[in-house]
Amino acid sequence: KMQEALVVLDEVVIVAAIEKDRSQNEMATISSRQFSMEEVNRYSGGRSDVARLAGNFAGVSTADDSRNDIVIRGNSPTGVLWKLEGIPIPSPNHFSTIGTTGGPVSALNTNLLKNSDLMTSAFAAEYGNAISGVFDLGFRNGNKDETEVTLQMGGVTGFEGMLEGPIKGTNNGSYLVAGRYSSVGIAQSLGADVGTNSVPYYQDISFKLDFGKSKFGNFSLFGIGGLSDIEFLREDVDDTDLFAADDEDARADSKFGVLGVKNNYLLGDNAYLRTVVAVSGTAVEFSRDRYYNMAQENEFSMPFVVGDNALLRYSASTSVNKKFSAQLTTKTGILTEVYKANLSFKSAELGIDADNDGVFDLIDIYDFEGTAVNIEPYVQTQYKVNNKWTLNGGLHLQYNSLNDDLVLEPRGAINYAVHSKHTLNFGYGLHHQNQPLPIQLSEKIGNGGTAILANKELGFTRSNHFVLSHDYKMNSNWRSKIEVYYQYIDNVPVEKISSSFSMLNVGADFGFPVDKNDLVNNGTGKNKGIELTLEKFFNQGYYVLFTGSIFDSKYTGSDGVERNTAFNNQRVFNALIGKEITIGRMAFTADTKLTSAGGRFFTPVDLEASRINQIPVLDESQAFQSQYTSYFRWDVKLGFKVNSKKRKLSHTFYIDIQNVTDNQNIFRTTYNRQTNEVNDVYQIGFFPNFMYKVEF
C-alpha cells in the first residue's frame, strides 16, 4: 500500500517557452519567420520602417535607399501581399503609387505593431493574389490596466504622440492611438542626405480599440489614415536629386486609409470564428510641368505628366479554425474584395509631337472608372502524425471579375524533426496574382480612333514554388537555417511583338511604363538560390544576426531570349550585432550593421536617340546586360535609456548614423537633358537619424 506524502509547495512557476524562430501562423511552417517589433527596432538603419527592417532577413533585398520596396528572391516588389489584421491593404506608404507595394516613407507605426510574420515562398493556403511574399501584420492591444503616454521625436518619423489604456465599462478592453507628423526638414538641417532638396510633408494616425469579451465574442476597431505631399521645384534641384529635374516642376499628393472591424467568436472549446470587415483606399495626384526655351524671353511651361488615381476597396474575410484533436487542425475561410477604381493618367513621355511645335503631346494612357470583384475561398489542414512528422496541405481558389479568370492553387509542406534540434522541411505552392491596375487598364487607340482596354483580359501571372530547408536549433536563443529554392513563373505579360519587355521587371519605381498597352501572357521567369541564417535572439544583453543569399533571377520576353531580371543582385549579405549594458536604472546600447549586395542589371541608355527625343531612350538591343557596381553600407546606432527612480517615467535616446562611410551607391544611370549626357545619379549618402522618446 502506497503512503500519502505531505509536500508543502511555496509556489509553482509556469514558464512559457517562446519559439522565436516559429511564425505566428502555426500553419506557415516553411519560408516564414516571426519578427518582434521590440527586437527589430534595435537594428541599425531601419528608420522605424517595417519593410526596411525586414530587409535584414535572408531572401529579402532592400538595396535601394530611396524606397522601401521589398525584393524577395529576385521577384518584383509588386508581388508582395500586405495584410493587416487579416485583410489585404494597399501599399502602406506615404508617396506611394497605385499598383506598387513600396514607397519612400512607411505609414505603418512600428510602436503599434505586434509580433508579425514574413513569408518568402510557398505560403499557406489562406494567402492569395501574390507570387513573391507576404507581410502578415497586426496591431497590439493597449495597456488594459493603466493609462500610458508616449511622446517621441525622430529625424524621419517626426513628432509623435501615443496614448493607451483601459476602456471603462468593458470586460478587459483597451484603447491604443498614435499620431505622427513629419520632421524630415530637421534631419536635413543636420546634414542628412534624404535624396532631394525638397521637403516632404506627411502625417498619419493609427489606432486600435479592443472592446473586450462579450456574449457576441471579442470586437475590435482598427484603422490607419495618412496624408503626404511634396513639391519638386526646378530652382531647388541640384544634380544629386533622385526624384526631380532642373527643367521641371513636379508635385505629388497622396492619401492612404484603412478602417476595419474584427470579431473573434468562440465556437465551443475547440473552434473559433473570425470575421473582419474593412474599407481601405488610396488616392494619388501627381503632375509634372516641363519648361521649354529656358533662360530665354519666350520661356514657357507645359504639362508633361498628369495623374489622378483613386482606388477604394471593400473587404470581408471570415474563417473558422477548428482543432479536432491534438493531431488535426483545419482552417476554412473566404475573402471577398470589391474594388472601385477611378484612374486617370496622361503623359508626354511617349515623345509624340504631332503638330511639330517642339512640345510633346499629352497622351491618354488610361482613363477608367469601374468596379471589379476578387473572391478567394480556401481550406487548410495541419496533421501532426507524431512528434517527428507534421503535414500541412491546402487549396486556394481565386476568381477575378475583371478578366473573368478562375484558378485553383494546391499548397503543401512536410516537416520532419530528425531530433529535438534538427528539422527538415519541404514545401510546394502554386500561386497566382492579378496584374497591376495601371497596366491592366492601359489604353490603346483602335482603328476607329476610340480607346480600347487591350490589356483588360490579361490573366493571372502564375508561379510554382519549391523549397527545401534545414533548421538547426542550437538552444533556445541560437539557431541556424539553410534554405534552397526554385521558382518557375509563367503567364507573364509580355508584348505581342518581339521585344525584351516583361512585367517581371516592373515595380521598383513610382510609376509604370506608359507604352505597354498590348500585352499577352506568354512570358516566363525563374528564380533559384540558397540562403543562410545564423541568429542569436536578444538575450543576456546582446543579439547577433547574419544572413546571406546567393541567387539567380532570369526572365524570357516575347523575343525568346533569357536575360537577367532588373532585381537580380545575385548576392546579398547582412551582418548585425548589438549589445546592451545595464548600469542601475540606465541601459546603454550599441548596434551596427554591414550590408553588401551585388549591383542590379539594367538596360543602358541610347545616347543619340535620347538627344534627338530629349527623353531617356533605352538601348533594347542590350536589355539588362549592364550591371551597376556593388552596393555597400555601414550603419552605426548608439543610444541609452534611463528609468526614473521615483515614478513611472523613462527616457530613451539614440542616434542612428546610416552610411557612415558616405559610400556612393548608384541609384540609376540615365540621360540628363541639361548636360546632354548620360550621368550617374547616386543613392542617399551620409544620413544621421535620431530619436528621443519619453514614456510615462
State yes or no: pLDDT of 539 exceeds 60: yes
pLDDT score at 192? 55
pLDDT tens figures, 644-676: 987 889 999 999 999 999 999 998 888 888 788
pLDDT tens figures, 132-167: 999 999 999 999 999 999 999 988 888 999 999 999
pLDDT tens figures, 204-220: 999 999 999 999 999 99
pLDDT score at 124? 94
Q: What is the mean pLDDT of residues 255-271?
A: 96
Backbone angles phi, psi at 439, to 5 degrees: -85, -45
Give per-residue burial for 52-74: e unless 16+ CB within 10 Å, then b.
bbbbbbbbbbbbbbbbbbbbbbb
Between the CA atoms of 154, 155, 159 and 164, what dihedral angle is there, to the nearest 10 degrees?
Answer: -30
Among 660, 539, 640, residue whose Cα is nearest residue 593? 660
Q: What is the mean pLDDT of residues 475-482?
A: 93
pLDDT score at 464? 98
- Which contiguous run of DSSP H or E holds residue 676? none
> Which has the minimum average pLDDT: 353-362, 472-481, 636-645?
353-362
pLDDT score at 190? 56
- Calpha distance 659→381 (Å, rounded): 46
pLDDT score at 195? 56
pLDDT score at 514? 84
> Which has the minimum average pLDDT: 139-153, 182-196, 531-545, 561-575?
182-196
Q: What is the mean pLDDT of residues 626-652?
A: 93
Q: For the chain, how far is it from start to end, CA to CA, in angstroms?
A: 61
State yes or no: pLDDT of 197 exceeds 70: no
Greater pLDDT, 185 or 571: 571
Backbone angles phi, psi at 449, to 5 degrees: 85, 5
Band (242; pLDDT cuts 50, 70, 90): low
Q: What is the mean pLDDT of residues 161-183?
A: 94
DSSP string, 506-573: --SSSS--SS--SEEEEEEEEEEEEEEEEEEEEETTEEEEEEEEEEEEEEE-TT--EEE-TT---EEE
Contact 649, 694 (CB under 8 A): yes
Band (613; pLDDT cuts 50, 70, 90): confident
pLDDT tens figures, 553-598: 999 999 999 999 999 999 999 999 999 999 999 999 999 999 999 9
pLDDT score at 517? 87
